């Protein structure tokens, strides 16, 4: 949505972006999420990644309990977890549904075999931990290696009652194709729910320049050369720019600005952790957290959902979010939000 700020034509680097996205998700290590949690804690956000998983799982469980009233109680509810990672989000969902006596078929999709294997083990362990107290019937667990651009190829169309994703799609520069894939995979009346990181820090070269300029030159000898090269590549870095140039809800400006402040703290914390790990020889190349991912304000998710044919105005859910974000992980901030869309029942 902000390509023009960077001198890029819409669609200009779509293929390169999608190829880089696939490589990132195929090669990132199973320890990657541990560094996300560590950086969040170092930044004073608590274990924001775990909180986001818990909040999203609670919301998904709430929606499933609404949906199942209209479904055959003997037919399994089919759920897909996109970008399942180590299986922690799916495990939280099963925990939240553990006292519900209805069948579920759970599919897991991730780009790396190492994470898919860990996810399967995580879920099996969670089921083992809950075996004395849960009524939920997990009829099938289907782990599949792939990315969200391959959903219909891997699973077909009209297959799922619900697709969930936790911090699984924000690496995309273009959301239209993954959201189209997700919408196509849903049954009529099916739901897509995603909990993700949101901010606008990366939408303009000036705000990125200011972020890099905040680092200490004593610890980054190449800083001035880097900044000069950056400005040559992106001349807009030399002009002032608002933090949120396309803000649709100015009454929530403070929450958007706080999200940018928090994500800045997160990346500076990661820089510190990364430096310490490099000095200790503990950082593997595939452990790297990637800057300049596609984080964007939350309303862009809703817009892309609507373009893909999903309805985002659902009164029974809208009322939960009226005036506040009860499922947000960081109070008074738009850094973590839940977005949802429903496929029309007749399409």
Question: What distance in Å separates the CA atoms of residue 198 and residue 192, rounded to the nearest whole number?
Answer: 17
pLDDT band at 254 (very low <50, low <70, confident <90, very high): confident
The pLDDT tens digits for 13-29 are: 899 988 888 777 777 77
pLDDT for 331 beyond 60:
yes
Look at 255 and 324; give whichever has higher pLDDT. Answer: 255
pLDDT band at 287 (very low <50, low <70, confident <90, very high): confident
Residue 95 pLDDT:
85
pTM: 0.91
Domains of the chain plus CATH, in order, are 32-199+294-342 (3.40.50.150)
Per-residue buried b or exposed e for 235-269, using 16+ beta carbons within 10 Å of the residue's own CB = eebeeebebbeebeeeebeebbbbbbebbbbbeeb
pLDDT for 333 beyond 70:
yes
Give helix 205-213 / helix 253-280 axis angle, nearest 10°: 50
- The proportion of the chain whose per-residue pLDDT surpasses 90, expressed as a percent, equals 46
């Amino acid at each position: 949505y902000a390509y023009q700020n960077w001198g890029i034509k819409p669609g200009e680097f779509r293929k390169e972006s999608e190829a880089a996205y696939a490589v990132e998700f195929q090669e990132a290590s199973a320890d990657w999420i541990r560094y996300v949690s560590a950086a969040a804690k170092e930044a004073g956000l608590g274990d924001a990644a775990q909180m986001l998983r818990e909040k999203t799982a609670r919301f998904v469980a709430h929606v499933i309990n609404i949906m199942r009233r209209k479904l055959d109680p003997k037919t399994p509810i089919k759920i897909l977890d996109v970008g399942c990672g180590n299986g922690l989000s799916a495990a939280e969902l099963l925990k939240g549904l553990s006292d519900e006596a209805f069948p579920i078929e759970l599919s897991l999709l991730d780009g790396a075999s190492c994470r898919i294997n860990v996810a399967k083990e995580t879920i099996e362990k969670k089921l083992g931990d809950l075996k004395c107290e849960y009524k939920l019937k997990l009829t099938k667990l289907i782990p599949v290696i792939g990315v969200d651009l391959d959903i219909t190829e891997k699973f077909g169309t009209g297959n799922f009652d619900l697709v969930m994703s936790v911090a699984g799609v924000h690496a995309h520069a273009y959301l239209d194709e993954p959201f189209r894939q997700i919408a196509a995979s849903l049954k009529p009346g099916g739901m897509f729910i995603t909990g993700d990181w949101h901010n606008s820090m990366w939408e303009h070269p000036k705000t990125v320049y200011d972020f890099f300029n905040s680092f200490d030159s004593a610890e980054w000898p190449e800083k001035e050369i880097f900044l000069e090269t950056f400005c040559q590549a992106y001349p807009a870095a030399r002009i002032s720019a608002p933090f949120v140039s396309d803000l649709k809800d100015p009454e929530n400006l403070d929450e958007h600005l706080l999200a940018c402040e928090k994500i800045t703290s997160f990346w500076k914390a990661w820089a510190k952790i990364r430096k310490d790990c490099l000095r200790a020889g503990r950082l593997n190349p595939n452990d790297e957290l990637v800057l300049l991912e596609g984080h964007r304000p939350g309303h862009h998710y809703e817009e892309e959902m609507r373009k893909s044919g999903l309805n985002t105005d659902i009164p029974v859910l809208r009322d939960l979010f009226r005036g506040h974000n009860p499922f947000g992980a960081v109070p008074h901030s738009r850094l973590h939000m839940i977005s949802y869309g429903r496929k029309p029942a007749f399409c």
